[in-house]
Chain A
């Protein structure tokens, strides 16, 4: 259960950072927190009580393993999340060069 609670807390903190914070870097950190929370949620949905990692070796049979599908999906999601963060950071650098600030209240057309 603690994994569900932790991932919900992570998603909540990330959403809070995205909605409330005015600094673009903090918004990106919020995005990363949401991604981490969602990854944790997907992996913990696939957990089976007293299961081992889904890798065959001596003395490990298929009945003792946790579900492998969520882990396979998370594996690629992590890499894609990293590259998306790089793209977001690139946009932030571009915005900073153009406007000279990271505060979204001072960037025209981003104001709300």
Chain B
């Protein structure tokens, strides 16, 4: 009884705190000067049509590097817990002997898989023009991998390949950033490529290569997480 009173007080306290914060921010009004600056100057300064992309990678590119580090830490944590070498995984899958999916599901997933990857690449490449970008496209690619794993119990992506792609993508991001030190602006992640015409795919300078790096990294990291989580499936001892 005392415990539930304490819990409801705690819940009420947190909701009240958020409400107090919200009173200062009326809905639907323009509140931030910096947002207006980004809207006014994005096309001039970065050449990107999508302001969200410009903020994520150009104005706050260093933050995005930090966020990719968080993602890397989470993926490393998962594989730290469930690490098995490729041979061990294959052996375990043979022992588990999972029921095969229907023929239509198995073949259909293999036919759809390339198109899912293609759609992910499209989303990554058009990140600076349309809604989308590296994070979303990487998640789409990983969802294709998830579909393949669900439909084909015996499939196995080489873990070392994933690690190499992931590391190369992160290295590309940092190298592009370091190249900015040799431009006249002399800052990390400064734009050194021509801005081009806004609205075309080869525009917005370094945003396109940066988003490709982010997309490859997110896609391979999520695929690694999926691979790790699937390797824990234990049909013999799973039910109690």
Partner-B contacts on A (CB < 8 A): 1, 3-4, 8, 11-12, 15-16, 19-20, 41, 44-49, 53-57, 62, 65, 67-69, 71-72, 75-76, 78-80, 82-84, 86-87, 89-91, 93-94, 100
Count contacts on B: residues with CB < 8 A to the other chain. Answer: 60
Whether B32 lies near A15 (C-beta < 8 A) is no
A-B contact pairs, 7 of them (CB 8 A): A55-B129, A56-B198, A65-B51, A80-B67, A83-B225, A86-B229, A90-B229
What separation, in Å, do the CA atoms of A80 and B30 have in the docked complex?
A: 28
Given that A47-B27, A75-B135 are contacting pairs, would A93 and B232 also be in contact in the complex, using a CB cutoff of 8 Å?
yes
- Is chain B's binding surface mostly helix, strand, loop or mixed? helix
Select one of A4, A16, A75 contacting B11, CB under 8 A.
A16
B10 within 8 A of A: yes
Whether A68 lies near B35 (C-beta < 8 A) is yes
What separation, in Å, do the CA atoms of A71 and B50 have in the docked complex?
A: 11
Closest CB in chain B relative to A54 CB, distance in Å? 4
What separation, in Å, do the CA atoms of A65 and B10 have in the docked complex?
A: 38
Given that A67-B30, A90-B77 are contacting pairs, would A54 and B52 also be in contact in the complex, using a CB cutoff of 8 Å?
yes
Select one of B14, B28, B64, B131 contacting A48, CB under 8 A.
B28
Whether A62 lies near B39 (C-beta < 8 A) is yes
What separation, in Å, do the CA atoms of A48 and B31 have in the docked complex?
A: 9
Residues of B within 8 Å of A86, CB to CB, are: 74-75, 78, 225, 229
Closest CB in chain B relative to A34 CB, distance in Å? 10
What separation, in Å, do the CA atoms of A54 and B129 have in the docked complex?
A: 11
B40 within 8 A of A: yes
> Which residue of chain B has its CB nearest to the CB of A74?
B52
What separation, in Å, do the CA atoms of A8 and B11 have in the docked complex?
A: 11
**How would residues 168 to 193 of chain B score, 1 for a CB under 8 Å from any chain A CB and 0 otherwise?**
00000000000000000000000000
What separation, in Å, do the CA atoms of A80 and B218 have in the docked complex?
A: 10
Whether B34 lies near A3 (C-beta < 8 A) is no
B201 within 8 A of A: no
